[in-house]
Homo-oligomer: A and B are copies of this chain.
Amino acid sequence: MTEFRSVVAATGEPNGPALAVHGPPDVAAACAAAAAAFDTYRATSRAARAAFLEGIAAEILAIGDPLIEAAMQESGLPRVRLEGERGRTVGQLRMFADVVRAGAWQQLRIDPALPERQPLPRPDLRLRMIPVGPVAVFGASNFPLAFSTAGGDTAAALAAGCPVVVKGHPAHPRTGELVAGAIARAVAAHGLPAGVFGHLVGPSNELGAALVQDPRIAAVGFTGSRAGGLALLRLAQQRPVPIPVYAEMASINPVLLLPAALAARGAALGTAFAGSLTMGAGQFCTNPGLVLAIDGAGLDAFLVAASEAVRSAPAQTMLTGGIADAYARGVATLEALPGVETLATGAQGEARQGHAALFRTAATTFLAEQALGHEVFGASSVIVVCADEAELRAVLDSLEGQLTATLHMEASDEALAVRLLPLLERKAGRILANGWPTGVEVCHAMVHGGPFPATSDPRTTSVGSLAIDRFLRPVSYQNLSAAVLPPELRDEARGDGAPRLIDGQPAH
């Protein structure tokens, strides 16, 4: 077995001693503990579970600066970004605590008995959502805090009442270990079984494969590459009992420059676009990797400003050597494509750094060359110039599923936007106007998801309060006596604050 170490992202140098690596027996032990903890954990009250989530947030904050420093070393991301990411991580745990307390996630429904109904009486039927079971979460490389050990999937699954087994991302094992320790302390402090949270680390794909194949795992959350997500999806589907995989994979996030916006502020849009493109070395799922413009006034100004900003963009350390290499290969592929013009590249850096890259092509070329529609993870983007609305629509129609679609528009573009909206809805999980897709708000109305291959399951989101639904399934109870019914479905629970439907009508 090769040695497994934490690595300094900027240099590739080892960052401390060799680390213990988990193997199949550890997977089995973590899953057995999770399964054993499941019924106890899911029986916790809403108040107790919410307090536990808040306890995790407090324990993460209590680590203090060592957490930020470990994440900076391992990811190469700057302090201000990671401090913000920690705030987001803690914030989403607290949001889920509020969601758990409010109780709407239980989807309580009561259809009282109708003993006099003809020709047959109606029995008493009551429904609630219960958690699906132990959940496997794969930490992402690009958000070592907010999409990783205690990230969105972990928070949503714990909120739903599911024990979680995290497969930590091998690019940030020290960061992951610190966060896992914080969760374990909260588990203990709240008197929960240790199996509520498990943490597995190691460099091999076999570790994750064993986790997905363990019969006690009921669902999988993953954020990463298309190849990685599809491999896990295949394993999950080939199990004797198939399970859902929520994999967030590949998206190039088309940005549409509508004619009036382009004419009114082409240069400003170009500069702002480059800022969104190069932020964080472009290592966002929602990075704007595709720009669609109808040829016309303002396009040249956009191209000039965007090119200028890209040329002056510094090289940035990428998350891992592997990601930097893959980015360089992706850029080289685009540079070599016939009909694709390299508009600008940013400053070349050292090994493990990425430079921004901007390309331009015609719609006809884009439609003929599949590689132009594939994600290059990093600060690379392709501008597709369309002759008219029909060509713009053809390019959109050719796209695979996306996390986001962005419209830059003025009031006089509204009619065009309305015509395009149905197509955009079929292609993306979030549609935004006059902004950039790289900011993902954690709130109730967020969808961070979308049609395949943006995700493996467009019926859900990985960010925001709706994510709790991923890890729930409905159970119906017919004619159970009050002593046997789950407490929240008993008549006396009415008024506990959780909304319920009685005969289909909202009630509290």
Residues of A within 8 A of B (CB): 39, 42-43, 84, 98-99, 102, 104, 107, 109-111, 119-120, 122-123, 125-127, 130, 132-133, 233, 237, 241-242, 244, 400-401, 407, 409, 411, 414, 417-418, 421-422, 425-426, 428-435, 439, 441, 443-447, 449, 451-453, 456-461, 465-466, 472-481, 483-484, 486, 499, 501, 503-504, 506
Can you add 13 more A-B contacts, CB < 8 Å, to A111-B441, A445-B476, A447-B474? A107-B466, A111-B443, A123-B435, A123-B439, A241-B453, A425-B475, A429-B475, A432-B477, A433-B480, A434-B479, A447-B476, A458-B473, A459-B472
Q: From A122, which residue of chain B is reached at the shortest CB distance?
A: B441
In contact, A478 and B127 (Cβ under 8 angstroms): no
Q: Which residues of B contact A109 (CB under 8 A)?
A: 444-445, 466
Q: Which residues of B contact A499 (CB under 8 A)?
A: 506
CB distance from A332 to the nearest CB of B (A): 26
Q: From A431, which residue of chain B is reached at the shortest CB distance?
A: B477
Q: Which of B111, B130, B241, B414 contacts A483 (CB 8 A)?
A: B414
In contact, B125 and A503 (Cβ under 8 angstroms): no
Q: Which residues of B contact A465 (CB under 8 A)?
A: 504
Given the interface pairs A478-B432, A499-B506, A506-B499, the reply to whether A446 lies near B133 with Cβ below 8 Å is no
Q: From A437, which residue of chain B is reached at the shortest CB distance?
A: B478
Q: From A400, which residue of chain B is reached at the shortest CB distance?
A: B241
Q: Which of B99, B409, B484 contacts A433 (CB 8 A)?
A: B484
CB distance from A373 to the nearest CB of B (A): 13
In contact, A478 and B433 (Cβ under 8 angstroms): yes
In contact, B432 and A123 (Cβ under 8 angstroms): yes
Q: From A127, which residue of chain B is reached at the shortest CB distance?
A: B445
Q: Which residues of B contact A122 (CB under 8 A)?
A: 441, 443
Q: Which of B401, B434, B480, B481 contacts A431 (CB 8 A)?
A: B480
Q: Which of B123, B429, B458 contacts A132 (CB 8 A)?
A: B458
In contact, B466 and A127 (Cβ under 8 angstroms): yes
CA distance A111 to B431 in the complex (A): 15
In contact, A435 and B125 (Cβ under 8 angstroms): no
In contact, A459 and B504 (Cβ under 8 angstroms): no
CA distance A484 to B413 in the complex (A): 10
CB-defined A-B contacts under 8 Å, sample of 29: A102-B504, A109-B466, A123-B439, A125-B441, A125-B445, A125-B446, A127-B444, A130-B425, A132-B459, A241-B400, A242-B452, A244-B457, A411-B483, A414-B483, A417-B484, A418-B483, A421-B486, A428-B475, A430-B475, A431-B478, A433-B478, A433-B479, A433-B480, A444-B501, A445-B476, A449-B474, A459-B472, A459-B474, A461-B474
CA distance A43 to B433 in the complex (A): 21
CA distance A39 to B457 in the complex (A): 21
Given the interface pairs A421-B484, A433-B484, A459-B132, the reply to whether A444 lies near B504 with Cβ below 8 Å is yes
Q: Count chain B CB atoms within 10 A of each CB in A110, A426, A459, A479 and give the residue with the most.
A: A459
Given the interface pairs A242-B456, A439-B120, A499-B506, the reply to whether A444 lies near B476 with Cβ below 8 Å is no
Q: Which residues of B contact A503 (CB under 8 A)?
A: 444
CB distance from A50 to the nearest CB of B (A): 14
Q: Count chain B CB atoms within 10 A of each CB in A84, A126, A244, A421 and give the residue with the most.
A: A421
Q: Count chain B CB atoms within 10 A of each CB in A84, A433, A434, A449 and give the residue with the most.
A: A433
In contact, A475 and B127 (Cβ under 8 angstroms): no
CB distance from A69 to the nearest CB of B (A): 21
Q: Which residues of B contact A431 (CB under 8 A)?
A: 475-478, 480
CB distance from A408 to the nearest CB of B (A): 11
CB distance from A256 to the nearest CB of B (A): 12
In contact, B411 and A445 (Cβ under 8 angstroms): no
Q: Which of B102, B444, B474 contacts A466 (CB 8 A)?
A: B474
CA distance A102 to B466 in the complex (A): 21
Q: Which residues of B contact A133 (CB under 8 A)?
A: 426
CA distance A486 to B74 in the complex (A): 44
Q: Which of B233, B400, B506 contacts A506 (CB 8 A)?
A: B506
CB distance from A91 to the nearest CB of B (A): 12
Q: Which residues of B contact A446 (CB under 8 A)?
A: 111, 125, 127, 476
Q: Which residues of B contact A43 (CB under 8 A)?
A: 422
CA distance A409 to B431 in the complex (A): 53
CB distance from A437 to the nearest CB of B (A): 9
CA distance A471 to B133 in the complex (A): 24
Q: Which residues of B contact A486 (CB under 8 A)?
A: 421
Q: Which residues of B contact A460 (CB under 8 A)?
A: 474
CA distance A422 to B131 in the complex (A): 11
Q: Which residues of B contact A461 (CB under 8 A)?
A: 474, 476
Q: Which residues of B contact A132 (CB under 8 A)?
A: 458-459
